[in-house]
Amino acid sequence: MLTFEKKILMKPLYLVFALIISVTGFAQSGELFFLKGKVVTTVKELREVNVYNLRSESSTATDETGNYSLFVKVGDTLRFQSLQTETKKIVLTEADVKKSLLVTQLLPKIIELEEVEIQDHSNINAVSLGILDKPAKKYTPAERRLKTATDLDATASAGMMAGGSIGLDPILNAISGRTEMLKKELEVERKERLITKVENQFKPEYFTNRLKIPSEYVKGFLYYIADDSKLDEYMKKKNKGLAKFRLSEMASQYLTLLKNGKE
């Protein structure tokens, strides 16, 4: 059995062991680790992400590749925050702090746009605003070129009348020649436009079955009707009934021409 004196001597030893154990435990729980981490996300050209330690209130920022480093302890909470990603918090485990590189996935931030109301302003135009009495005429390319040449011709003529100069005659002749050429170009455009309208409105079978025009002569018939002003007017007004009647009349004339040509 232990004597009283020995018991007295043993008490300081117990206290020392208890102190050593408590200090060791405290040291382990408060141990600092140098953490290396990396942020990954689907955001292209991600700017820096702020990494904030809520316990120590220390922070750092990721570099251009998403890497960062800072001192942490087990149980620390890290907050990842940027303008381009959703804020994320993680609590560090012992396994986390012992990793050679802690990778954290961040989600891209979804920016909700304010509701936009689209209003129809198609009724607002130069006529409704009182700028024009009627809608402005729309010109085809050939019509626009002819109008430009005609306006230039009138301007040059007025200038000659005001200043008077024989040297302007060749210029006027050149302008007049170009005007005539543009008029012919406009006429060709008008014919082509009429042929296209007829082809879009009537199927090929209409010409062969209804108008009795041989299939090999249908194209020639289209060029034949391209000069007809009445048909052009009916097609412009989208009067299909009158257009059919006029086509029937012209088909009879065309078939007669074909018959006479063969005789």
Q: 251 or 1: whose pLDDT is higher?
A: 251
Of 140, 162, 144, which Cα lies nearest the Cα of 152? Answer: 144
Most confident among 160-164, 170-174, 251-255 (mean pLDDT)? 251-255
- Write down the domain spans for the chain: 30-105, 139-189, 202-263
Residue 128 has pLDDT above 60, yes or no: yes
What pLDDT is attached to residue 182?
72
Residue ranges in the chain assigned as alpha helix (H): 4-29, 94-97, 141-163, 169-201, 204-205, 218-225, 229-236, 240-262
Do the strands 33-40 and 102-105 form a parallel or antiparallel pair, or are they unpaired? parallel
CA distances from 6 to 1, 14, 208 (A): 10, 13, 132
Determine the pLDDT at residue 248: 93
In the predicted structure, residue 74 carries a pLDDT above the cut 70: yes
Residues 6+ apart with CB under 8 A from 56: 71, 72, 76
CA–CA dist 71, 4 (Å, integer): 51
| CB proximity list for 255: less than 8 A, separation 6 or greater | 212, 213
Confidence (pLDDT) at 47: 83
Q: What pLDDT band is residue 136 in, cutting at 50, 70 and 90?
A: low
pTM of the model: 0.36
Q: Please state the CATH superfamily assignment of the domain spanning residues 30-105 in this structure.
A: Immunoglobulins (2.60.40.10)
Mean pLDDT of all residues in 67-84:
94
67-72 sheet: strands from edge to edge: 67-72, 33-40, 102-105
Q: Tell me: the pLDDT tens digits for 179-210? A: 677 777 777 888 888 899 999 999 999 999 99
Whole-angstrom distance, CA of residue 100 vs CA of residue 153? 85
